[in-house]
Chains A and B, each alone.
Chain A
């Protein structure tokens, strides 16, 4: 009896141990990828930002002592806000139309949103340059129609960057909005109407609040993507719109300042994580990911 008891009591933990071992082995490849390709480089990045033949916060001190860095961060945040607000204003009606239109039409609308999505950002940015530059299609057309005498400066400045970024990021706003709007039960709108609400009232008091998770998801997504945008401002900015991502690349390519580049990257990363955290507080991730 006594031997039996000891046998069962030892075999059970061993069995569980084996099971855990199995689970760990199954997880190992994924863990290796995450640790090797994400955590290690990130830690190395953080390390590099504070180590230069000794422990130093010089790279971070520079972020607020050198006006260039501050201006670059300000510009990046300002452009990000402008792009996010514009994509929301443009994207909301599109997503709304896609939810209320007959199915074949709504598919058409969504296709129009998604197809540019498959074209590379580089190609689309160059495309905008062809359209917007001084000798571009838009200016030639306007001048040909006699609307303007001298070409408008639409590219190689902040306006060009804004137009390009808005176009490229619009799908990232429309798709979460559409996902959220589609989940709003039509019955609620009918109920609102049956209680005497006019279409505008029903929209403002029923539909709009219920679409908020989509708004939050789209806003956070677009804003975060804006913060790291590189190719579009590089191509359409004419060399003047120095966004944070460009600041990082200049520090590496031009100035050999890997420490400074790392410090800027760390600050950008922290900013993005904070925004994501706030975004998650505002709206549970599940409700926008379409899990239910």
Chain B
């Protein structure tokens, strides 16, 4: 209830802000309305990317926050006159939105900074902006010198006894189950959903908690409530500062990213494209991990020399770390098969 209330508040302020932005400042220089997820993350990107980009392009970046942008994208699309321009959101939203005519197709000739990015980091509707990873994390005190290093180890309750937690969501969890069952990281998609759920049934009795929020996953680790867990790397790093007994591996981690995409019929379309290109500039991207423990969306950032080597080692999108991981296929998760897996999840967890 409280969460619903909070997000509707955010949405209300969102449309008010956007309204102010489009009417009040129309006479000012070029501008865009940029939407991200708020909190410490948005503060960090403001410092690292948004302010410098605004300065470089001589435009005004009007910011807005929405922890879950998809319902708003859908509503704004329905009106045909959106107030948002550029959104930082999980890639699935961009792809699904593109399929439903809510997101602009990108003209990559206008986005030179994307040219050197891996093809897998781009879709016709989006460009990778920032990376995080669902990694295998564990309590070093419990496992000493031999912590679990793969999802097969996580599933192996005999060799690695202890309490376990997984996210209460099929994304990344199904992939982990398949890897535990021996599927090569490069051959995950299209997911064999039946096989994944079958493998999950196996570990289910040993799962103490199915966590629903990042904060909860951090608390479980911090208090020693679980001995191993799938958690987001950013959360793990912050827990490690408090509790030195926590370790994690990028082995078989599931690389996820948020992407930038532009709303169909965006009010400042031209500026939005320029802004999008600037936001993935390697130098600006390289400043993001200095402000918060997330990986840059543009791997070129690692070649700028701005990111110190020891910091790069902790970032999920650093090339040597990325090589150990599997990239989540947003296109599959936004397909009907992905939707069906999502629905099947609720039944699975409750039984």
Q: List residues of chain A with CB under 8 Å of any chain B CB.
A: 66-68, 71-72, 122, 129, 133-135, 153, 156, 228, 230-231, 234-235, 238-240, 242, 245, 247, 249-250, 252-256
Contact = CB atoms under 8 A, between A and B. Distances in A.
A133 B225 contact: yes
A240 to B, nearest CB: 7
Contacts of B211: 239
Interface in B1-50: 1-4
B346 A250 contact: yes
B214 to A, nearest CB: 14
Contact of A72 (B169, B212, B345, B350): B350
B349 interface: yes
Contacts of B209: 156, 238-239
Contact of A135 (B224, B345, B347): B224
A268 to B, nearest CB: 12
Centre residue among A122, A134, A245, A247 by max chain B CB count within 10 A: A134
B208 A134 contact: yes
Contacts, number: 61
Contacts of A156: 208-209, 225
Interface of B: 1-4, 68, 70-71, 163, 168-169, 208-212, 216, 219, 223-225, 339, 342-343, 345-347, 349-350
Contact of B168 (A122, A153, A239, A245): A239
A143 to B, nearest CB: 14
Given A122-B2, A153-B208, 8 more contacts: A68-B346, A71-B350, A156-B208, A230-B2, A239-B210, A239-B349, A255-B346, A256-B70
Contact of A239 (B212, B223, B225): B212
A255 B342 contact: yes
Contacts of A239: 168, 209-212, 349
Nearest to A135: B224
A149 to B, nearest CB: 15
Contacts of A72: 350
Nearest to A238: B209
Nearest to B351: A71
A238 B210 contact: yes
Nearest to B70: A256
Nearest to B345: A254
Contact of A242 (B2, B4, B68, B346): B346
A235 B4 CA distance: 16
Centre residue among A133, A238, A247 by max chain B CB count within 10 A: A238
A249 B3 contact: yes
B2 A240 contact: no
